[in-house]
């Protein structure tokens, strides 16, 4: 099979249609089903490159990986207790998020945030939830909650 590429506009358009259909079906509850979007990419391209043992370090490692892959321009992270604040700039999925926002809802999923969450869950066995996603000038501001209790079974959801 030959390797084909499609335009980013096409891929984001399809992803938008999928998110909209899910929103139409589940409303805000769709967000809690979108947390694993990016899992296959995480397992194939990121997991073995994540070595940190602290939440902030893991977030920065994910940022470096995604930046190196050309998915984002940058990712910064700040910890505040159990809260992890991310700022992502130059994300390939920005146009998709703008279309979701135009529906009158906040973004339902964020692949960079999901990959940070999956990394923390896998490396530290701590559950993570995306609590807020806001589009701001030049990027997105994301709020993740990192829980203390370990995940059952010692792994990701």
Give the domain ranges of the chain.
8-154
Percent of the chain past pLDDT 70, that is, above it, reads 95
Q: What are 101's two structure tokens?
A: 């926002």
Please classify residue 151 by burial: count the beta carbons closer than 10 Å to its beta carbon, then call 0-12 exposed, 13-18 middle and 19+ buried.
middle
pLDDT digits (tens, 9 = 90+) for 89-141: 999 999 888 888 888 877 778 899 999 999 999 999 999 999 999 999 889 99
Across the range 48-52, mean pLDDT stands at: 95
Please give the class, per CATH, of domain 8-154.
alpha beta
User: Can you give the pTM of this predicted structure?
Assistant: 0.85
Which of 49, 139, 40 shows the shortest CA–CA distance to 85? 139
pLDDT digits (tens, 9 = 90+) for 66-77: 999 999 999 999
Compute the distance between CA of residue 30 and CA of residue 129 in angstroms, rounded to an integer.
13
């Amino acid at each position: 099979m030959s390797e084909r590429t499609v335009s980013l506009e096409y891929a984001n358009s399809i992803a938008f249609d999928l998110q909209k259909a899910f929103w139409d079906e589940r409303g805000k509850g769709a967000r809690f089903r979108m947390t694993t979007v990016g899992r296959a990419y995480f397992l194939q391209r990121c997991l073995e490159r994540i070595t940190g043992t602290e939440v902030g370090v893991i977030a920065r490692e994910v940022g470096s990986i995604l930046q190196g892959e050309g998915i984002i321009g940058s990712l910064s992270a700040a910890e505040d207790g159990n809260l992890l604040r991310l700022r992502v700039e130059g994300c390939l999925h920005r146009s998709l998020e703008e279309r979701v926002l135009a529906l009158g809802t906040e973004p339902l999923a964020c692949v960079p945030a999901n990959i940070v969450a999956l990394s923390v869950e896998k490396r530290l066995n701590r559950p993570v939830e995306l609590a807020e996603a806001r589009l701001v000038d030049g990027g997105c501001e994301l709020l993740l909650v990192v829980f203390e209790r370990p995940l059952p079974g010692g792994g990701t959801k």
